[in-house]
């Protein structure tokens, strides 16, 4: 297939991988406020071309999520070209290929776990339908973007800042004249605007690193054995038009089998359409030039699937039954009051079904308010976003999270609508609040309350301070109907440790049952 002078095919593949990785990184960095209220780039593109997430989110929502339409194209391309996506496009795959040399293999039995991914896929699809959303834990993009957002990117910034702070504070002028422009340039290009802090930073890093370390066992271990997206593409690729045609009568030569990162070539040098990710390395190493890729007739017999029926049934059974265990927990009737979802979030069940745990919303949140949940939303809610008012707040004029959410788990809200959406409600802890508890003037919370008519107001009161002296000061209180739960009061409260004003999910717009009592009655008696 290759003429003597031609550039070997695998160079093109590498080039494509690098290109896709750079594009992906670019979109990752651009998932940020850009000076305009609207995000200009399709920063969530990666998630919208992911058919696994499209399928599980759609199953959970019981409707096809049109936002994720592009995922169909991925399947279409896979039908034509095979599992090229894994070899040419997937940024996690590129990372694994790139990092492979840093993780020397230990070797092991080949192909033992290969079918795992199919069972996982079956489980995820069925469980999605029955109400256990878990695709985000295994989806490669979710793992990657989450790991980068919550752990790698903030650490990268901290590293740079530490270094350049050191040179700035301790370096002589001539050094600073060199390092400061470099720092400015990095800030302008690849560093985040400011340092962000995240819950579960280490857990998400651990998951990402584990995926990389599995390279020790087998090349592309994750892709071969675990990736449910890979499984989905593999199922489609069984019918692909383009396929590798292996050699036969090769004698002792095993070059192609040795070089194949996916373990796709069997003893007879037949290339499995499900496993081959079209990296084309085999073409390059085959001394006899016996391997080629061609659009062959579809008559060719496919290797049987070889799935264990029992395992498959178990996976499906688990997908049906496990979700029902979620319904018997106390949190099903008493949700965690500190679980505050971003503005525009769908009602909790729907929200969890659609949220693919990609972390895009947490990446874009300029207030650093959105944080991944641990078990507050149950085991199935791990890594879904919540507002943690002490770390950061929801910026009154900002609508970015709804713009980047690839599945519509957070609806895109117009600014006016967003400013009226209550995500929760603030409460004063008068035992800690300075003007109440200590007779010390404060009301920083009132100052920052962003609603045009402030939800925090104050009354003047004469109190005794710690020395028994009478002082006149302003004591804050909340006007329930005005508070939207943005959390800036909790963020800015100057008390050390916990804030004296805290936001809970009470009153959130998305839940009609979450009504805050008013003097007008709760409705039980008044009808």
Partner 1 sequence: MDRREFLRQISLWSAGITLGVPGFRITGEAVAAERPEAVVSQATGKDYVALVTKVLDPLGGMGKFVRPGDKVVIKPNIGWDRNPEQAANTHPLIVKTLVEQALAAGAGEIKVFDRTCNEERRCYVNSGIKDALDRIKDKKVTYFHPDPRKFIPVDIKRGKAVSRLEIYKDALEADTYINVPIAKHHGLSRLTMGIKNSMGVLGGRRGNMHHDLGQKLADLATVIRPKLTVIDATRILLRNGPQGGDLDDVKVLDTLIASADPVAADAYTTTLFDLIPEDIESTVAAYKMGLGEMNLDAIRIISA
Only one of the segments 8-16, 166-174, 300-308, 354-362 lies at the binding site for partner 1 (rule: CB under 8 A); that segment is 166-174
CA R_g for the chain: 27
* Cα–Cα dist 152/91, whole Å: 15
Q: 228 to each of 29, 49, 50, how far by Cα in Å?
A: 26, 15, 11
∠ Cα 195 201 205 (to 5°): 120
Only one of the segments 123-131, 255-263, 283-291, 443-451 lies at the binding site for partner 1 (rule: CB under 8 A); that segment is 443-451
Closest alpha carbon to 82 in 226, 238, 223: 238
16-75 binders of ligand SF4 (CB under 6 A)? none
> Are 179 and 164 spatial neighbours (Cβ–Cβ below 8 Å)?
yes
Contacts of 14 (CB under 8 A, 6+ apart): none
CB atoms within 10 A of CB 478: 20
Q: Is residue 352 near ligand SF4 by the rule CB under 6 A?
A: no
Q: Is residue 365 near ligand SF4 by the rule CB under 6 A?
A: no
Closest alpha carbon to 137 in 120, 122, 156, 154: 120
Structure tokens of 115?
Answer: 């079918």
389-408 binders of ligand SF4 (CB under 6 A)? 404-407
* Cα–Cα dist 293/278, whole Å: 9
* Cα–Cα dist 392/385, whole Å: 13
Only one of the segments 101-109, 152-160, 320-328, 492-500 lies at the binding site for partner 1 (rule: CB under 8 A); that segment is 492-500
Residue 357 binding result from ligand SF4, partner 1, none, given CB thresholds of 5 to 8 Å by partner type = ligand SF4
Nearer to partner 1, 135 or 456 (CB): 456
> Are 406 and 415 spatial neighbours (Cβ–Cβ below 8 Å)?
no
Nearer to partner 1, 199 or 395 (CB): 395
* Residue 107: CB minimum distance to ligand SF4, A: 37
* Cα–Cα dist 13/476, whole Å: 63
Residue 396 binding result from ligand SF4, partner 1, none, given CB thresholds of 5 to 8 Å by partner type = partner 1
Structure tokens of 519?
Answer: 């003097």
Only one of the segments 146-154, 167-175, 219-227, 277-285 lies at the binding site for partner 1 (rule: CB under 8 A); that segment is 167-175
- For residue 387, the surrounding DSSP H or E stretch is strand 385-387
Residue 451 binding result from partner 1, ligand SF4, none, given CB thresholds of 5 to 8 Å by partner type = partner 1
Residue 356 binding result from partner 1, ligand SF4, none, given CB thresholds of 5 to 8 Å by partner type = ligand SF4
250-279 binders of ligand SF4 (CB under 6 A)? none
Pattern 462-491, ligand SF4, x by CB under 6 A: --------------x---------------
* Residue 132: CB minimum distance to ligand SF4, A: 16
Structure tokens of 493?
Answer: 């409260």
In the complex, the residues that contact partner 1 under the rule CB under 8 A are: 33, 35, 164-165, 168-170, 173, 193-194, 366-367, 395-398, 434, 440-444, 446-448, 450-454, 458, 474, 492-494
In the complex, the residues that contact ligand SF4 under the rule CB under 6 A are: 355-361, 384-385, 404-407, 409-410, 428, 433-435, 442-445, 476, 493-495, 499-501
């Amino acid at each position: 297939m290759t003429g003597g002078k031609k550039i070997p095919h695998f160079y093109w593949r590498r080039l494509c991988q690098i290109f896709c990785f750079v594009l992906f990184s670019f979109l990752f960095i651009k998932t940020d406020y850009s000076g305009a209220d609207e995000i200009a780039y399709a920063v969530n593109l990666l998630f919208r071309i992911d058919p696994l997430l499209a399928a599980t989110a759609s199953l959970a929502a019981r409707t096809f999520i049109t936002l994720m339409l592009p995922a169909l194209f991925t399947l279409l391309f896979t039908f034509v070209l095979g599992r090229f996506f894994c070899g040419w496009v997937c940024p996690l795959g590129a990372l694994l290929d790139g990092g492979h040399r840093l993780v020397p293999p230990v070797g092991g039995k080949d192909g033992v776990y290969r079918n795992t991914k199919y069972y996982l896929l079956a489980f995820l699809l069925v469980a999605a339908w029955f109400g256990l959303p878990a695709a985000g834990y295994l989806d490669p993009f979710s793992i990657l973007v989450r790991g980068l957002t919550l752990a790698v990117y903030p650490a990268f910034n901290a590293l740079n800042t530490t270094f350049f702070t050191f040179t700035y504070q301790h370096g002589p002028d001539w050094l600073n004249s060199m390092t400061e422009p470099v720092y400015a340039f990095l800030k302008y290009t690849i560093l985040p605007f400011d340092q962000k802090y995240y819950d579960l930073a280490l857990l998400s890093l651990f998951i990402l690193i584990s995926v990389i370390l599995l390279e020790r066992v087998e090349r592309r271990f994750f892709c071969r054995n675990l990736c449910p997206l890979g499984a989905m593409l593999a199922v489609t690729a069984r019918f692909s038009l383009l396929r590798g045609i292996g050699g036969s009568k090769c004698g002792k030569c095993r070059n192609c089998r040795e070089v194949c990162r996916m373990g796709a070539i069997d003893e007879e040098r037949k290339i499995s359409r499900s496993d081959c990710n079209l990296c084309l390395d085999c073409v390059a190493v085959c001394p006899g030039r016996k391997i080629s890729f061609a659009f062959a007739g579809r008559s060719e017999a496919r290797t049987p699937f070889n799935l264990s029926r029992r395992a498959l049934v178990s996976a499906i059974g688990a997908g049906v039954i496990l979700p029902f265990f979620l319904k018997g927990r106390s949190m099903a009737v008493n949700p965690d009051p500190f679980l505050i979802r971003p503005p525009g979030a769908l009602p909790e069940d729907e929200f969890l079904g659609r949220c693919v745990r990609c972390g895009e919303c947490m990446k874009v949140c300029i207030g650093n308010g959105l944080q991944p949940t641990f078990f507050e939303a149950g085991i199935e809610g791990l890594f879904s976003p919540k507002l943690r008012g002490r770390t950061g707040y929801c910026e009154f004029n900002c609508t970015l999270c709804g713009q980047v959410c690839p599945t519509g788990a957070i609806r895109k809200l117009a600014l006016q609508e967003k400013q009226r959406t209550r995500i929760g409600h603030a409460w004063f802890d008068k035992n800690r609040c300075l003007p109440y508890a200590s007779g010390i003037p404060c009301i920083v919370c009132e100052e920052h309350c962003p609603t045009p008519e402030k939800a925090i107001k104050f009354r003047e009161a004469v109190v005794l301070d710690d020395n028994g002296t009478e002082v006149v000061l302003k004591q804050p209180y909340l006007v329930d109907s005005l508070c939207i739960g943005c959390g800036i009061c909790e963020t800015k409260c100057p008390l050390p440790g916990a804030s004296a004003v805290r936001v809970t999910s009470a009153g959130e717009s998305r839940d009609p049952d979450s009504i805050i009592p008013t003097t007008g009655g709760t409705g039980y008696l008044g009808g």
